[in-house]
Structure 1
Amino acid sequence: MLYEHFQLLEKIGLDLVFAAIFFFIGMAIKDVLREGNVPVFGRRIVWFVLTLGCVGFIVKGVIQLVWEGVGIG
């Protein structure tokens, strides 16, 4: 295998690890909210913040791809 393939596999693996971390964080938060009898408004705020974190991660990846495609990064 060429060195470029190792870099690609490393990038894909890191993205999958981050996706798994977000998933497990979401499952833990769901469990804590359920066990703590948190009101609906509080649950919505927590999920909104978690969603913003995921969206920020995705936007960062898209920006990185665009910059690398243009030759900036």
Structure 2
Amino acid sequence: MFNQNYEQIESMLLNLCLVGLFLLMGMAVHDVMKKNDVPMVGRVVAYGVLGLGAAGFLIKGIIQVFWHAQGISG
């Protein structure tokens, strides 16, 4: 059974690790900006870039789900 679900388990663990990395990056960015008194515009830009990166991975995952549901392998 493990051999049959290996790809699915690997994909889930990769996604969980990416979520963890984005959370750690967000906390690191927040800490650096807090200690250096970054203006609001800089904070918006930094969080925007981090958010767009996370949104890209989310959209990639959604596209993969739709492709696999339609039988398109990628």
Alignment TM class, shorter chain as reference = over 0.9
> Which has more helix, going by share of residues?
1
Separation in 1, partners of 2:42, 2:11 = 35
Task: Tell me how many residue pairs correspond in the alignment.
Answer: 73
Q: What do you get for the CA RMSD once the two structures are aligned?
A: 1.0
Q: Which runs of 5+ in 2 are unaligned?
A: none
1:6-61 residue CA offsets vs partner (Å, 9 max, x unmatched) = 22111111100000000000000000101111001110111111111111110000
Q: Which residue of 2 aligns with 1:40?
A: 40
Distance 1:53 1:13 in 2: 19
Map of 1:20-59 to 2, 5 A cutoff? 20-59=20-59
For 2:60, the equivalent position in structure 1 comes to: 60
% same residue = 37
- SS of residue in 2 equivalent to 1:29: helix
TM-score where L is the length of structure 2:
0.91
Q: What is the TM-score with the length of structure 1 in the denominator?
A: 0.93
Report the alpha carbon displacement of residue 4 of structure 1 after superposing the two structures with TM: 2.2
